[in-house]
Structure 1
Amino acid sequence: MALEWVILGYAAAAEAVMVLLLTIPGLDGLRKGLVAVTRNLLKPFLSVVPFCLFLLMDIYWKYETRPHCESPGSCTPTEHLRHQKSMFKSQRNALLIASALLFYWLLFTVTRLVVQIEQLNQRVEKLKNQD
């Protein structure tokens, strides 16, 4: 299962970098190319959403099938430690899922806004040229 988390981490990092590059002021010359690349990558990155849902179901399944200690002495310290490590990993992975979904949403929204701004700037230039 570690490969899935590595892939999701790389996807979230790529989304974060693209959002950062689109929002940094002063990159006007590169922005058109970045917008074109980002618009082409939005559809493949949409596969992050069902992938995250699958991984959330995996976390839920692990939570539901965890060993239960009925009485204080029924679990050994090793079992208790393993359960705690599993819970920490699940929490970390849930944060990774949330960040991947958030960065996808931000990337989609920022890309749409940058495209709208470019279209409005073109309209303004066209109206200036007509006068």
Structure 2
Amino acid sequence: MALQWVILSYVVAAEAVKSRLVALIALVLQPASGILPFVAFQLLDLYWKNEHRLMCTSEICTAEERIRYEKSMFKAQRNVILCVLACLLYWCIYRICKYHRDIKELEEAEKRLKAE
């Protein structure tokens, strides 16, 4: 029961500071200032490593070299997927904050029109 009260108090506190929190997150998540330069650097690094990676496709490669080559390819592919997903997550959070701010502005405009 105590855990439920703690969770309820956290929810109430989050609702109380939601507008300030959303404004802060929207300010921090300005496009091209957060994660986008980091992701661009990571993608360029992955591209450079892929272009300068030693190929192990001939018969003289040992089984260990071939396994290491395949592992490095899988890691590079995983990192590209993670970079793309980070961009998508960043964009989704940014858009949610922007929509929340737009809704607040529309609610304030509606209140002003009703008051007049």
> One fold, TM greater than 0.5?
yes
**Deviations 1:76-98, CA, capped at 9 Å, x for gaps:** 11110111111111111111111
Quote the residue 2:22 is aligned against: 35
Q: Extract unaligned runs of 5+ from structure 1.
A: 1-26
Quote the residue 1:64 is aligned against: 51
| 2:61 corresponds to which of 71, 75, 81 | 75
1:1-131 alignment to 2 at 5 Å? 28-43=15-30, 46-69=33-56, 71=58, 73-130=59-116
Q: Distance in 2 between the 1:48 and 1:85 partners?
A: 26
Range that drifts further, 58-67 or 41-50: 41-50
Q: Which amino acid aligns with 1:93?
A: N
**Deviations 1:18-71, CA, capped at 9 Å, x for gaps:** xxxxxxxxx653320221221231249823212111111111111112222353
How far has the Cα of 1:107 moved from its partner? Answer: 1.9
Q: Please report the TM-score for the alignment, with normalisation by the length of structure 2.
A: 0.77
SS of 2:54's partner is coil
Identity of aligned residues (%): 37
Q: What is the number of residues matched between the two proteins? A: 103
8 Å CA contact 1:56, 1:94 repeated in 2: yes
Quote the RMSD (CA, aligned, Å). Answer: 2.0
Q: Extract unaligned runs of 5+ from structure 2.
A: 1-13
Q: Distance in 1 between the 2:40 and 2:88 partners?
A: 13
8 Å CA contact 1:48, 1:101 repeated in 2: yes
Q: Please report the TM-score for the alignment, with normalisation by the length of structure 1.
A: 0.69
Q: Larger radius of gyration, structure 1 or 2?
A: 2
